Structure 1
Amino acid sequence: MSRWLLPHGAHPAALPLLLGRALRAFADGYVAVLLPAYLIALGLGTWEVGVLATATLLGSALATLAIGAWGHRVHHDRLLLGAALLMCATGFAFAASSTFWPLLLVAFVGTLNPSSGDVSLFLPLEHARIAEAADGDARTTLFARYSLMGSLLAAFGALAAALPGLLAAWTGIAPLDALRSMFALYGFIGLAVWMLYRRLPKPHEEEKRKAPAPLGPSRKIVIRLAMLFSVDSFAGGLVVNALLALWLFQRFDMSVASAGQFFFWSGLCSAASQLAAPRLAKRIGLLNTMVFTHIPASGCLIAAAFVPNLHAALALLIVRSLLSQMDVPARSAFVMAVVTPGERAAAASFTLVPKSLASAAAPTIGGALFAAGMFAAPLVACGVLKISYDLAIWQAFRMHRPPA
């Protein structure tokens, strides 16, 4: 397995991180689809779904920001183990809650992810460890494998969104209890991640002395990137997977099982595209890979908002999936390449925080627009803002050549 997962030149210490990412992605994949269905089954409305999605993103953003500000005082391994235990507690607490305010508290404090990408406090810690495990093209390839594992297992997780319906049919339990069981499973997956991360290599004394540092020489470039990423993040927050599923439910009366199948194929397309990302980046550069695959993906999202039937909308969204995630490994490698090694954890945190913080208000806005019957508005706004971000980051960094 390690021969397939790890590219040539990567350190074997990255393997537990790739496997942990896979497990978390599987859980995130079905949570993004089931979250709106579960909340509606509890009697909550469209607006409450958006508010809870906002709470998950805002809580993750603040936790990630704390990692960037103070995480250098504690070794990554301890923080990763703590994050895994928090994931475990989140699943069990969400499964045990039935009213809005307890659910809101768990969503804010915990690790639930309503989006298609990882926005948790795991990310800066794992990125810093992965960046240390390879250099140059091998680093880009390793980030691509990391993203691939996320997309691939998130796809199978989305397919698992059909399990509550099957469980209710086979066992006769109430559909709501079947939905609760999936959040309990989320807790058990968190426990499995904790056990896996206990196997991470212990740092040697010299590695302890090379503790992660707060931002220093790279502060200006990191702040500039963070400001640009915030635009992309806010745009993505308007159509996180939970809201996109809600859009499919309400506009086309799509079933939960059918939505799970769509997100499965969508995730597979994203995973396949990331296999091509390292080769494309090697050929045209990290920045060009980020920008020139993202723009047509946003165009497909805008077009999907206006097509009159479900099949055309799904086709456009599938094309979007083939392109929109190709920038993920390239962007991660770009950030890790433009900062000093000691700043990588802080840089990952301060550039990943906008993935949650800037997008935190967006699901509430998207949910409110859907509730008002403006089904096209969130998709169009997302596409236009993402294209603006792509043009801005290309203009800002097109002359920049990151070191290996």
Structure 2
Amino acid sequence: MKLPMLSLLPPGANARARPLLLARGLRAFADGYMAVLLPAYLLAIGLGTLEVGILSTTTMVGSAVATLAVGAWGHRFGQAGLLRGAALLMAATGLCFAAAPGFWPLMLVAFVGTLNPSSGDVSVFLPLEHAQLAGAAEGPARTALFARYSLAGALLASVGALAAALPDALVRGTGIDRLSALRAMFIGYGAVGLLVFWLYRRPPGSSAAAAEAAPSPLGPSRGVVWRLAALFSVDAFAGGMVVNALMSLWLLQRFGLSLAQAGLFFFWTGLLGAASQLAAPKVAARFGLLNTMVFTHIPANLCLVLAALAPGLPLALALLFVRAALSQMDVPTRSAFVMAVVTPAERAAAASFTAVPRSLAAALSPTLAAAWLAAGWLAAPLVGCGLLKIAYDLALWRAMRRHEAGAAPRRPAT
């Protein structure tokens, strides 16, 4: 009988892709509690709401610059070495954030570090890991592998959100002050970076088919990659308005939730998102990657708009839970779609050049959303996010319909 651990990988995936999934889960756990605690920590050291948004934007701008550097010059270095370097940078980020004395030092650490205020992964790890994953499986197994990767992130991020209650528990149980308890969580974030470094002590493997195609710059697929990058940037800009750090701030300001309650909310939304990502390969096998991306996303974003206008907490939470059950189904299918519409040699470049505009676009909107919240326009970030994402869904479906036949995962012949 196979051990449950072996089910981490889908059939047909290279076994040495396992560190990619484990590392994604560890990073997601740390990101899960950091997204909830970041605004509380910044407010506790005397910063204001607008400064929370500025720092959130700075972290995402820094991630975008690092990802751009990987896309432009990463071919000069081994991807395994870049992954290990990113893990060490994560460790340094946690320690420096815990020790930084004020706004401007935090700005510097936020820009050069790996801190992620988002519910998704917008860090330099993303294109590196996607390129490795694309070479670790082919066909339907690749979609399933991306789903496992996204699932690991969603599940561990939801558990991490629960860990946001630890600082208050430490205050009650040990008597230490709340600020010290919050700083301890950043030290824990750095420790996770060291664990990720250990996982990447050996390079992940790739399939024989992928090994035959040496990495190359964008060539025949340049046009479709740039169109996808432009569309994905609209989606990312919209998503930046409701990154977890700002959604946590919205819940605290609109309904007066405690950190523990906010963490519990993100735990359940994370579980719902994980379940939807697990179902995504089966839905995509029946309806196609593009249709799965678009027609699960539209109702999710309608729920977000309605949640912003809900008169009370129960209805708002119900709508946000429905959104969580639908909104993440596009994550593994989007990654698999990009890998399917480019040639094998272009996959690493495509992963970077679709990630960079997303990171840049996502970096611009948190400050705008925070300014709206600071001005008392509490519904504006959620409404703006939902409407922009619906526009993106419709534009994506219209632009990419003709590529769907070649990208759709096929069921194995029986």
What range is the shorter-chain TM-score in? over 0.9
What is the SS of the residue equivalent to 1:375?
A: coil
- Which segments of structure 1 move beyond 2 Å, counting only runs of 4 or more? 199-212, 401-404
Aligned to 2:54: 51
**Per-residue CA shift, 1:107-154, capped at 9, x if unaligned?**
110000001100011011111111111111110000000000000000
Aligned to 1:97: 100
What is the SS of the residue equivalent to 1:77?
A: helix
AA at the equivalent of 2:285: K
**Per-residue CA shift, 1:22-56, capped at 9, x if unaligned?**
00000000000000000000010000000000001
Aligned to 2:366: 363
Aligned to 1:402: 406
Q: CA shift at 1:354, angstroms?
A: 2.4
Counterparts of 1:308-319 in structure 2 under 5 Å?
A: 308-319=311-322
**Contact 2:136-2:207 within 8 A present in 1 as well:** no
Q: CA shift at 1:352, angstroms?
A: 1.2
**Per-residue CA shift, 1:200-226, capped at 9, x if unaligned?**
357899988954222122111100000
Bigger CA drift: 378-387 or 64-73?
A: 64-73
**Contact 2:144-2:281 within 8 A present in 1 as well:** yes
Counterparts of 1:242-253 in structure 2 under 5 Å?
A: 242-253=245-256
Q: CA shift at 1:98, angstroms?
A: 2.6
AA at the equivalent of 1:284: F
Alignment counterpart, residue 174 of structure 1, candidates 177, 183, 187 = 177
Aligned-partner Cα distance in 2 for 1:346–1:212:
8
Aligned-partner Cα distance in 2 for 1:355–1:361:
10
Aligned to 2:265: 262
Alignment counterpart, residue 146 of structure 1, candidates 149, 152, 168 = 149
**Contact 1:75-1:211 within 8 A present in 2 as well:** no
Q: CA shift at 1:339, angstroms?
A: 0.9
Q: CA shift at 1:355, angstroms?
A: 2.4
**Per-residue CA shift, 1:149-192, capped at 9, x if unaligned?**
00000000000000000011111111000000000000000000
Aligned-partner Cα distance in 2 for 1:17–1:363:
29
Identity of aligned residues (%): 68
Aligned to 1:71: 74
What is the SS of the residue equivalent to 2:85?
A: helix
Counterparts of 1:3-402 in structure 2 under 5 Å?
A: 3-201=6-204, 211-400=214-403, 401-402=405-406
What is the SS of the residue equivalent to 1:392?
A: helix
**Contact 2:17-2:205 within 8 A present in 1 as well:** no
Aligned-partner Cα distance in 2 for 1:302–1:378:
9
AA at the equivalent of 2:236: S
What is the SS of the residue equivalent to 2:309?
A: coil
AA at the equivalent of 2:263: G
Aligned-partner Cα distance in 2 for 1:69–1:313:
43
**Per-residue CA shift, 1:278-331, capped at 9, x if unaligned?**
000000000000000000000000000111111111111111000000000000
Aligned-partner Cα distance in 2 for 1:253–1:165:
16
Q: CA shift at 1:269, angstroms?
A: 0.4
AA at the equivalent of 1:41: A
Question: Alpha carbons of 1:341 and 1:181: their partners in 2 closer, same or farther (altered >3 Å)?
Answer: same
Count of matched residue pairs: 404
Aligned-partner Cα distance in 2 for 1:234–1:49:
17
**Contact 2:213-2:344 within 8 A present in 1 as well:** no
Bigger CA drift: 140-149 or 394-403?
A: 394-403
**Contact 1:69-1:214 within 8 A present in 2 as well:** no
What is the SS of the residue equivalent to 2:378?
A: coil
**Contact 2:80-2:202 within 8 A present in 1 as well:** no
Question: Alpha carbons of 1:266 and 1:190: their partners in 2 closer, same or farther (altered >3 Å)?
Answer: same
Q: CA shift at 1:229, angstroms?
A: 0.5
Q: Could you say what the CA RMSD is over the residues aligned between the two structures, in angstroms? A: 1.6
Aligned-partner Cα distance in 2 for 1:79–1:207:
19
AA at the equivalent of 2:9: L
What is the SS of the residue equivalent to 2:242?
A: coil
Aligned-partner Cα distance in 1 for 2:206–2:355:
25
Give the gaps of 5 or more residues in structure 2: 410-414
Aligned-partner Cα distance in 2 for 1:281–1:203:
24
Q: CA shift at 1:3, angstroms?
A: 2.1
What is the SS of the residue equivalent to 2:272?
A: helix
TM-score by length of 1: 0.97
**Contact 2:233-2:361 within 8 A present in 1 as well:** yes
